[in-house]
Amino acid sequence: MPDRTPILAANWKMHKTIEETERFLAESLPRVADSGPEVVICPPFPSLKAAVERCAQSRIRVAAQNMHEEPEGAFTGEVSAPMLIELGVDGVILGHSERRQHFGETDEALARKVPAALDAGLEPILCVGENESQRDSDETEGILTRQIEADLAGVPDERLGEVVIAYEPIWAIGTGRTATPEQAQEAIALIRGLVESRSAEQAGAIRVLYGGSVKPDNAEELISQPDVDGALVGGASLDPEGFAAIVAAAA
């Protein structure tokens, strides 16, 4: 089985000012810097520069939470990949369900955003997942298949392993309801199988994370599933101690 280094990514959403970011990192870096898993902090846009500067001498990487697919243009309020690169950012979350739900993010746009991020030198963290009614009506497989096929359509087969995928069932995000380890494993194995249908080699390399109410007390069980390569953590990543405990659980 290929050796895939786990990733623990902290999605701060619209939390933490620059000052709060600096305070978090001052507390957090000594706790997580020497850990085995890769650690990625995803603060809001205004805090990215401070996070990049604070993390510069450490193994912690920094990612944004969204970007536009064009490098520049008349897109008021948007930010492009070259702008993130200039800041020293390493990656970008794309297709988070909150962006799909509240800001009209589409699979068509993601099919352009994912290769644009890769081409610019950013590691995309692509989020996919079904909502509660889709799970209840046994549509999970179809939803994941449609999202993965559409969102990765513009990525050449030989670059699929450079993408990180986060399986985030919408019913588990911010709800305190976590997928069972078996549900996470099943969905993530399905996602890996979809990548395998394009390239067996890349399917062995691609990292697929679980996200949805990951906490210090459930992280280990979820991350130890054979196909689960880490976690995208929202609420529990806002507290340095809690986040360090999750990172330790993955080590």
Q: Between residue 2 and residue 41, which ones bind ligand PEP under the rule CB under 6 A? A: 11
Closer CB to ligand PEP, 64 or 203, in the complex: 64
Residue of 105, 168, 227, 229 that binds ligand PEP (CB under 6 A): 168
Residue 216: partners with Cβ closer than 8 Å, 6 or more residues away: 236, 242, 245, 246, 249
Instruction: Report the DSSP beta bridge partners of residue 128.
Output: 167
> Catalytic annotation on 130?
no
> Catalytic annotation on 168?
yes
Q: Between residue 176 and residue 215, which ones bind ligand PEP under the rule CB under 6 A? A: 211-214
**Minimum Å distance from CB 55 to ligand PEP?**
20
Task: Give the whole-angstrom CA distance, residue 149 versus residue 165.
Answer: 12
The reply on whether position 174 binds ligand PEP by CB under 6 A is yes
Among the residue ranges 66-74, 137-145, 166-174, 180-188, the one whose residues contact ligand PEP (CB under 6 A): 166-174
**Minimum Å distance from CB 168 to ligand PEP?**
5
**Minimum Å distance from CB 129 to ligand PEP?**
9
Residue of 6, 43, 161, 234 that binds ligand PEP (CB under 6 A): 234
Residues near ligand PEP, by CB under 6 A: 11, 168, 173-174, 211-214, 232-236
Q: What are the residue numbers of the active site?
A: 96, 168
